[in-house]
Copies of this chain bind each other. A is one copy, B any other.
Amino acid sequence: MKLKGLSIIGWKSTGNQGATFHGVNPSTGAAIEPAFTSATAHEVDSAARLAHHAFLEYESTSGAQRANFLREVAVQLETDAEAIVRRAFEETALPVPRLQSEMGRTCFQLRLFADLVQEGSWVDARIDRGDPSRQPVPKPDVRSMLRPLGPVAVFGSSNFPLAFSVAGGDTASALAAGCPVIVKAHPAHQGTSERVGTAILKAARHTQMPEGIFSLLFDAGFEVAKELVRHPLIKAVGFTGSRQGGLSLLEIARSRPEPIPVYAEMGSINPVILLPDAVQTRGREIADGLHASVTLGVGQFCTNPGLVLMENNGDAAPFLNELVRLMASTPAATMLSEAIASAYRNGLQAFSSIPGVDVRAAGLSNGPAQAAPALFTAGGSVFLSRPELMNEIFGPATLVVLCEGRQELRSAIGRLEGQLTVSLHATDKDLSSGGDLVKQLEGAAGRIVFNGFPTGVEVGHAMVHGGPFPATSDGRSTSVGTRAIERFARSVCYQNFPEALLPAELQESNPRGIRRLVDGKWAH
């Protein structure tokens, strides 16, 4: 297929009036064909109206129908996988094997949500049967279940052109819940986005989904994002990206006459806490693992460990020396874009200029969009007095804070903002004197990793990829794993309804065969 460079609105590719722009190959700095056309406010409105009409039909589809659609999206992606990966490599410089594995993850997610909604029990169906003879007033028959919110706006992320973009986790979970999706493509990988969007469109047509269930909008700037989040027919927002970007969308959503939920995953510094006996007994292994986690994918993960907290004792120096050796010997690599590489270099510069922060490794980089790993150290008192050391430097950099004793370590942990993850390295000996650390960590993060590293987010039922503000805009949610579907639904309650008017999931005969809470007991 030849790329058109046009937005996809319902079944049509459109866009003749917007400004055009080119993507850039980060490895070469060269423009990539074709030019893409920004969507107009009118096109945003068309997409939202189509999505609203599609919703009226789509919300009533069965789980099996939605599952069929989601699985067909995976099939269509796999059919075009080679071209999608090739284009994504050109646009993002992410290595082909990584992109292939990201494609696998994207299809896995789609099928996981397909299985979830085909089975159907996710709707949390509850039935409290009535009792007309109850005194002093009859007890009504009350039934409730999760219902989809309506059309959802999803924002493609820069660092996951597949798994957190057009057909990524937000899209899969919203479609699974019964919500049409309008994606605003990330401008760093429009060609990839158009290819993936076209695959979704094909799947929608093959499975007889209503027009408007999916649209894809391009924009070089921020106007489409604003129009989309402001639009009264949009009922929720999914976003993965920077804190600044997430907070802007949140502000727009809150200022609407009808505020809507925004699920913004805004990254974090994913602290790694090293207790003394772990460093003494496994220092080299930890240095190896930490180095691998910090530099994986040129550090371009929301779960990249940007902060290490440890005690400054005799074992710290050999550990640090090993880590310095590993970081300094890792070559520079190409980041997703020159803008991201430039932000990375600015971040390094800002840390370097803070008194008390030592630069222990800062490899040279040259060429556009290049970044070399960097390692900083600072004392605990410096960290405690300079909150800007908690700022995320998106890229392969980390700061090791050397605390004077357990008390200072505890203080540093107590100062942490909300995080996606916190990792704890500890031996039994460490834990015998600090087991309650875990309780302190629970309050700070969505996921706690024991004797491991935060990169690599397993997609499953139990995963939580979320965490207290500012890691996300809604600390009660996750954007990875099956729980993500709950973000796009709310409970609706039906009182004294005749059987025929109830959704199938709540009918007495349980025609969908789902697990339900009936008079306080879970039953199949």
Question: Chain A interface (Cβ within 8 Å of chain B)?
Answer: 56, 59-60, 121, 126-128, 137, 139-140, 142-144, 147, 150, 254, 258-259, 261, 417-418, 431, 435, 438-439, 442-443, 445-452, 456, 458, 460-464, 466, 468-470, 473-476, 478, 483, 489-498, 501, 515, 517, 520, 522
A-B contact pairs, 26 of them (CB 8 A): A126-B461, A128-B458, A128-B461, A128-B462, A128-B463, A140-B449, A140-B458, A142-B458, A142-B462, A143-B462, A150-B443, A258-B470, A261-B474, A446-B490, A449-B495, A449-B496, A450-B497, A451-B496, A458-B495, A461-B517, A462-B517, A463-B493, A464-B491, A476-B490, A478-B491, A522-B522
| A391 CB to nearest B CB, Å | 15
| Alpha-carbon separation in the docked complex, A480 to B496 (Å) | 18
Contact A448 B258 (CB under 8 A): no
Contact A60 B439 (CB under 8 A): yes
Q: Which of B442, B447, B483 contacts A495 (CB 8 A)?
A: B447
Contact A139 B458 (CB under 8 A): yes
The 3 closest A-B pairs by CB, nearest first: A464-B493, A126-B462, A447-B493
| Alpha-carbon separation in the docked complex, A475 to B450 (Å) | 36
| Alpha-carbon separation in the docked complex, A490 to B494 (Å) | 27
Contact A496 B439 (CB under 8 A): no
Contact A448 B494 (CB under 8 A): yes
Contact A438 B468 (CB under 8 A): no
Query: Can you name 4 extra interface pairs (CB under 8 A) apart from A142-B460, A258-B468?
Result: A59-B439, A451-B496, A463-B493, A515-B522
| A490 CB to nearest B CB, Å | 4
Query: Which residue of B has the minimal Cβ distance to A476?
Result: B490
| Alpha-carbon separation in the docked complex, A60 to B436 (Å) | 11
Of A56, A470, A476, A478, most buried by chain B (CB within 10 Å of CB) is: A476
Q: Which of B56, B442, B446, B451 contacts A439 (CB 8 A)?
A: B56
Of A60, A435, A456, A464, most buried by chain B (CB within 10 Å of CB) is: A464
Q: Which of B121, B417, B451, B475 contacts A490 (CB 8 A)?
A: B475
| A243 CB to nearest B CB, Å | 13
Given A143-B462, A461-B126, A501-B438; A446-B258 close (CB under 8 Å)? no
